[in-house]
Amino acid sequence: MTNYLRDMTRTSEVQRSTGEYKVKPIKQKVRELLGYPYPTRIPKGVFVEQWVGISIDEFHRAKDADVKYMRNGHPLLDMSWSRADCTRYLTPLGLTDTPKSSCLGCPFHGNSQWRHIRDTSPSEWADVVEFDAAIRQGNARANASGSRLLGEAFLHRSRVPLSQAPIDHVTAAERAALRIGADETDVLENGVEDGCSPWACRGDAEALTQDDFGLAT
Ligand code: SF4
């Protein structure tokens, strides 16, 4: 996961925390389903197959799991389906507006996604606001380098606590203060275009974990 940091020499510095918030809970659940909770050794040949919905538009983001007890499958790639193919399939089923999958507290959300959570799911909104506050001082174990966070981390691009972040609109003054153009304004409102999965987190492109959960590398 990539968080937005404040008070660093480069404000665009990021903290990446692949394992802590995404892969770790998945591994915990998989071990539970297999009947071998951590740190029980999982016998050779015992594994789950996990399907990850990456389309051919983003084939470069498909990755293997980093443990033997999980095998990633990519059915959309096997069928050579693009995002447009998925939409064509979903439309007659009345599912045209199926949103991109994403983590609830994804720092790549645009304002429209934050508003959607706030306006449609108060409990999830409370959850992400609490999470945003909880990461302010970072988490050394979650940091890919194992170092303590030097600045403050935020989920929203404005580097303002989520509960106070300007998610309802971007004013001309804010645009000017951020020195952003039309494309970046669109990302601010709608989030990044790509879909996602914990195994292909765009924030982790340069920081893959090779550990089992809980053991940050
Ligand atoms: S896995 Fe994707 S949705 Fe989740 S935090 Fe990373 S970029 Fe966001």
Q: For residue 197, which atom of ligand 1 is closest to its CA?
A: 1
ipTM over 0.95: yes
Ligand 1 centroid–CA 118 distance in Å is 18
CA of 179 to the centre of ligand 1 (A): 25
User: What pLDDT sits at residue 58?
Assistant: 87
Q: Return the pLDDT at 186.
A: 74
Identify the residue whose C-alpha is closest to ligand 1 atom 4: 103
Residue 12: the pLDDT is 35
What local confidence, expressed as pLDDT, does residue 136 receive?
Answer: 85
Per-10-residue mean pLDDT, the chain, length 217: 53 47 87 95 96 90 91 96 94 88 86 92 96 80 61 88 88 67 73 68 50 31
pLDDT of residue 119: 93
Cβ–ligand 1 contact at 103 (below 6 Å): yes
Q: Provide the pLDDT for residue 133.
A: 92
CA dihedral in degrees (103, 109, 113, 115; nearest 10)?
A: 110
CB 88 within 8 A of CB 76: no
Nearest alpha carbon, ligand 1 atom 3: 102
pLDDT at 216: 27
What is the reported pLDDT for 63? 87
- Measure 1 CA to ligand 1 centroid, in angstroms: 6
| Separation of CA 43 and ligand 1 centre (Å) | 31
Answer whether 199 contacts ligand 1 (Cβ < 6 A).
Answer: no
